[in-house]
Chain A
């Protein structure tokens, strides 16, 4: 037994080495400097593909010099760095009516990813960005009332894209060149209309959703928080008069949204998940929790050679602005791979005892293990378990120490393990109070093992749980090095099961 364990831990460092991701961009340079950091700027990409439209003031404008006579705020698209943000201003679909109806965009695309960003349950990919400012006004002043009634056709959006980076075609910045788009992509957007089809102009608000071959607007009144409870992002709050469904059209008393909003996309190899954090920097006036709340889960058939881009797009030539400022792009894995060893023992006719020993491989930039999930294929009941005990080196002295098991707390304190039961899983959370007060198992932890012992009713023996590790942000936690990828599947070592007759 000891020999097997020893061999396991010697090999664990190698056998569980998996892809890990780390990328951070704080835009602490100028727009020219972004190229050296792996960014392609002023990338004229929208949902309908690559389309480069020039600033042609005398072109086909549908008979209206809309925006060019100083009467409106419409201007041509541009990107620049300001206050540590990548700033998008103006409209990439500009003046030329011939291209109206094609979603023309302007993005910054990360191109320095190599071919290593491949998503799987054991190597999930996840990227998040903070949006500091947005003003998505799809109607120019001269088109409000004078150039046709407000309608859904006037719309624009901004957001975060995740896609398979197969160049659709060699592109050039030649005017009016149109190239079909990426075949495998998802775009997580906030979109504004001049008028929604089933609402009055005055009642029209922005929509959050995703594009997967077509726009899918989503309701945002029941997002899942990390603890499983629901959050309504539509109700009025201080500085959010209409929640996160913003009113942007200035002719309709709209204005810019200056609240910082977080957007995250994760991909576990099979499913893409979209998250909104309504208060990612703990703004004082913002009463929303600083948490990444699940908005949607979408199955996809692609998972390799991934990258992302950020930007905005406009649907028509006569739109005023699709302005957005983005900051703090972050991609951080939980670990570089985590394996586990399982030891099972039959205690008596009713109860079994299982011991999991997790052996994570952790790098400096990994988030570390802040929580563990045991997920069963079917439903479980709390009464099927007793004596859940967790050991880790939370004293940072190279030995494993038993945590105090607690239940029904908002957050565990140092030395505690918070056990939460869900319909199909058990979640075990370590303390994550702050960067200085936490029990997260990181690269700096002297003994990077975690041991979990629990007794369960024998009927459960037939269905083995999958083991995941994660390091998630909760409203009540202040540990800042959390993961952006979502939970990471652990790899089982050779199961060693000994039954006592």
Chain B
């Protein structure tokens, strides 16, 4: 009888794990070889006004020298036929993705040297760098030579544009209209606010190109989609450059609600909207290291009553490409009534041995192994594990022997917390920590499930 219960329990856990949808995302492109680079299509003659083939162009958009790089203009030399239209060039990753709260999508891409420039004098004259998210059409061929003005019905892009009668370029998000981003006040995950425009900042040069200015500061951009909103983040100092005051963390630049979440593709390119060739005009940039990495294949949890409150039993599933769980985020309008009493993971005894033990709470935002950091903000409570390096960390990942996380907490029965609580897992970059396998998709919501009967049996046995 005892053996039967154990067998049932183990089978239950296996079934419980298999029930996760196969939601892992992983893709990495270092653009090292234009011949072997897979699933990319370039240069697609695509800009905001769709597929356009202007008669003259000095655009170079190519994969060479280990990067995706571009310069020049999609239209120029007095080719006036499409004057005023945004003609572009882009490289498109033809893989398609779906996004949802339980399986968010996102990617990071490193941007190196850039320059955007347009002579002053014309309000309508823009040179633009763009990172796109589009919904692939099933009935429109979006390739060279096909119907002019063919478009993705649903699209979004993050831009840097220069022109409009000024030397100063600016970032923005395009979700149906131009929306410039105020860079004087951007906030990162942990609530730190940064000004990216102050006078002594090396990043002022990002936007003040003048005629020949080049921005050589590298940055990581991240675009995420959680099924209902797209978010754009920027890490201004991904290499911890000496002398830089900016943190090696991601700052939220823009968030927009969108109505599409399936069949998604990404593109990187540039565009301009005049055939004029008077003066120096370009939108040039170098991109590298495009990465798509999910937190996990899927994460379920169930809740059970314990003597002094409740226990949330988290059961994640991973592939070896997933980032793993470096943070757990509790979200509820009633979060002030949520009192965490214990966090138990495989890292509790600092040994990857299959047994779960309690972590100790610390006030350090980059906790050591065996500790966790707790941060509370409006509607959120964040539990953060150690992510010091790829070798020294408490991230629950594919190679963790016992991947179960037990979170014990209390709340008033009538607080509304149980009905409103949403729980997410993430693995994000924080300054001072060097765990490199961060997720690019943003937080992944855990799916609450009924406590399996087989687990109840197993729980009973574990108490014995």
- Determine which of B82, B83, B121, B259 lies in contact with A299 in the assembled complex, contact meaning CB atoms within 8 Å: B259
Q: A99-B123, A102-B123, A214-B49 are in contact. Are A183 and B175 (CB under 8 A)?
A: yes
Cα distance, A180 to B174, chains bound together (Å): 12
Interface on A for B, CB 8 Å cutoff? 49, 98-102, 148-149, 151-153, 178, 180-185, 196-198, 212-217, 270, 298-302, 315-316
B178 at the interface (CB under 8 A from A): yes
Q: A183-B177, A198-B148, A213-B155 are in contact. Are A101 and B273 (CB under 8 A)?
A: yes
B80 at the interface (CB under 8 A from A): yes
What is the distance, in angstroms, from B399's C-beta to the closest C-beta of chain A?
A: 39
Cα distance, A141 to B90, chains bound together (Å): 37
Cα distance, A184 to B257, chains bound together (Å): 10
Task: Chain A residues near B154: list those with CB within 8 A.
Answer: 299
Task: Chain B residues near A270: list those with CB within 8 A.
Answer: 259
- Determine which of B85, B151, B174 lies in contact with A216 in the assembled complex, contact meaning CB atoms within 8 Å: B151
Q: A99-B124, A100-B124, A197-B148 are in contact. Are A183 and B176 (CB under 8 A)?
A: yes
Please indicate which of the listed interface residues A98, A99, A270 has the most CB atoms of chain B within 10 Å of its own CB. Answer: A98
Task: Chain B residues near A98: list those with CB within 8 A.
Answer: 121-124
B93 at the interface (CB under 8 A from A): no
B33-64 contact mask (Cβ, 8 Å, vs A): 1 or 0: 00000000000000011101100000000000
What is the distance, in angstroms, from A73's C-beta to the closest C-beta of chain B?
A: 22
Cα distance, A451 to B372, chains bound together (Å): 62
A-B contact pairs, 30 of them (CB 8 A): A49-B177, A49-B178, A98-B121, A99-B123, A100-B84, A101-B83, A101-B125, A102-B124, A151-B82, A152-B81, A152-B82, A153-B80, A153-B81, A182-B177, A183-B176, A197-B53, A197-B82, A197-B148, A213-B48, A213-B174, A214-B50, A214-B151, A215-B49, A215-B151, A217-B149, A298-B153, A299-B260, A300-B259, A301-B259, A315-B84
CB–CB A213/B259 < 8 A: no
Cα distance, A183 to B255, chains bound together (Å): 13
B147 at the interface (CB under 8 A from A): yes
Cα distance, A100 to B273, chains bound together (Å): 11
What is the distance, in angstroms, from A472's C-beta to the closest C-beta of chain B?
A: 25
The B47-104 residues at the A interface (CB cut-off 8 A) are: 48-50, 52-53, 80-85
Cα distance, A153 to B151, chains bound together (Å): 17
B240-267 contact mask (Cβ, 8 Å, vs A): 1 or 0: 0000000000000000011110000000
Cα distance, A206 to B84, chains bound together (Å): 19
CB–CB B148/A214 < 8 A: no
Cα distance, A117 to B153, chains bound together (Å): 26
CB–CB A214/B48 < 8 A: yes
The B108-122 residues at the A interface (CB cut-off 8 A) are: 121-122
Identity of the chain A residue whose Cβ is nearest the Cβ of B260 in the assembled complex: A299
What is the distance, in angstroms, from B57's C-beta to the closest C-beta of chain A?
A: 15
B7 at the interface (CB under 8 A from A): no
B228 at the interface (CB under 8 A from A): yes
CB–CB A185/B176 < 8 A: yes
* CB-CB nearest 4 A-B residue pairs: A101-B84, A101-B124, A213-B176, A151-B81
The B273-293 residues at the A interface (CB cut-off 8 A) are: 273-274
CB–CB A214/B259 < 8 A: no
Identity of the chain A residue whose Cβ is nearest the Cβ of B229 in the assembled complex: A301
Please indicate which of the listed interface residues A149, A197, A270, A302 has the most CB atoms of chain B within 10 Å of its own CB. Answer: A197
Task: Chain B residues near A101: list those with CB within 8 A.
Answer: 83-84, 124-125, 273-274
Task: Chain B residues near A49: list those with CB within 8 A.
Answer: 177-178
B401 at the interface (CB under 8 A from A): no
B179 at the interface (CB under 8 A from A): yes
CB–CB B179/A180 < 8 A: yes
Task: Chain B residues near A151: list those with CB within 8 A.
Answer: 80-83
CB–CB A301/B258 < 8 A: yes
Identity of the chain A residue whose Cβ is nearest the Cβ of B49 in the assembled complex: A214
CB–CB A180/B178 < 8 A: yes
Please indicate which of the listed interface residues B153, B176, B259, B260 has the most CB atoms of chain A within 10 Å of its own CB. Answer: B176
- Determine which of B49, B84, B257 lies in contact with A316 in the assembled complex, contact meaning CB atoms within 8 Å: B84
The B2-17 residues at the A interface (CB cut-off 8 A) are: none
Cα distance, A213 to B49, chains bound together (Å): 9
New A-B contacts (12) at CB < 8 Å, excluding given A151-B82, A214-B48? A100-B84, A101-B84, A101-B124, A153-B84, A181-B178, A185-B177, A213-B155, A216-B151, A299-B260, A301-B257, A302-B257, A316-B84
Task: Chain B residues near A148: list those with CB within 8 A.
Answer: 80
Identity of the chain B residue whose Cβ is nearest the Cβ of A181 in the assembled complex: B177
Task: Chain A residues near B125: list those with CB within 8 A.
Answer: 101
Cα distance, A106 to B393, chains bound together (Å): 61
What is the distance, in angstroms, from B174's C-beta to the closest C-beta of chain A?
A: 7
Cα distance, A185 to B176, chains bound together (Å): 8
CB–CB A180/B260 < 8 A: no
Task: Chain A residues near B49: list those with CB within 8 A.
Answer: 214-215
Task: Chain A residues near B228: list those with CB within 8 A.
Answer: 301
Task: Chain B residues near A99: list those with CB within 8 A.
Answer: 123-124
Cα distance, A152 to B55, chains bound together (Å): 13
Task: Chain A residues near B178: list those with CB within 8 A.
Answer: 49, 180-181
Cα distance, A333 to B148, chains bound together (Å): 39
Task: Chain B residues near A299: list those with CB within 8 A.
Answer: 154, 259-260
What is the distance, in angstroms, from B453's C-beta to the closest C-beta of chain A?
A: 25
Cα distance, A270 to B179, chains bound together (Å): 23
Cα distance, A302 to B177, chains bound together (Å): 14
CB–CB A212/B153 < 8 A: yes
Cα distance, A284 to B49, chains bound together (Å): 39
CB–CB A153/B149 < 8 A: no
Cα distance, A152 to B124, chains bound together (Å): 17
Cα distance, A196 to B121, chains bound together (Å): 29
Cα distance, A216 to B152, chains bound together (Å): 9
Task: Chain B residues near A212: list those with CB within 8 A.
Answer: 153, 176
Please indicate which of the listed interface residues A100, A148, A149, A178 has the most CB atoms of chain B within 10 Å of its own CB. Answer: A100
Cα distance, A299 to B154, chains bound together (Å): 9
Task: Chain A residues near B260: list those with CB within 8 A.
Answer: 299
CB–CB B82/A153 < 8 A: yes
What is the distance, in angstroms, from A160's C-beta to the closest C-beta of chain B?
A: 17
Task: Chain A residues near B124: list those with CB within 8 A.
Answer: 98-102
Task: Chain B residues near A316: list those with CB within 8 A.
Answer: 84
CB–CB B123/A153 < 8 A: no
Cα distance, A178 to B124, chains bound together (Å): 11
Task: Chain B residues near A178: list those with CB within 8 A.
Answer: 123
- Determine which of B83, B84, B177 lies in contact with A180 in the assembled complex, contact meaning CB atoms within 8 Å: B177
The B139-165 residues at the A interface (CB cut-off 8 A) are: 147-149, 151, 153-155
CB–CB B123/A214 < 8 A: no
Identity of the chain A residue whose Cβ is nearest the Cβ of B149 in the assembled complex: A217
Cα distance, A198 to B147, chains bound together (Å): 8
Identity of the chain B residue whose Cβ is nearest the Cβ of A299 in the assembled complex: B259
What is the distance, in angstroms, from A110's C-beta to the closest C-beta of chain B?
A: 20
Task: Chain A residues near B155: list those with CB within 8 A.
Answer: 213-214
Identity of the chain B residue whose Cβ is nearest the Cβ of A51 in the assembled complex: B123
Cα distance, A213 to B83, chains bound together (Å): 18
Task: Chain A residues near B80: list those with CB within 8 A.
Answer: 148, 151, 153
Identity of the chain A residue whose Cβ is nearest the Cβ of B156 in the assembled complex: A213
Identity of the chain A residue whose Cβ is nearest the Cβ of B164 in the assembled complex: A178
What is the distance, in angstroms, from A445's C-beta to the closest C-beta of chain B?
A: 38
Identity of the chain B residue whose Cβ is nearest the Cβ of A272 in the assembled complex: B259
Cα distance, A462 to B209, chains bound together (Å): 64
Please indicate which of the listed interface residues A148, A182, A214, A315 has the most CB atoms of chain B within 10 Å of its own CB. Answer: A214
Identity of the chain B residue whose Cβ is nearest the Cβ of A97 in the assembled complex: B122
Cα distance, A180 to B176, chains bound together (Å): 11
Cα distance, A23 to B197, chains bound together (Å): 48
- Determine which of B52, B84, B179, B259 lies in contact with A183 in the assembled complex, contact meaning CB atoms within 8 Å: B179
Identity of the chain B residue whose Cβ is nearest the Cβ of A185 in the assembled complex: B176
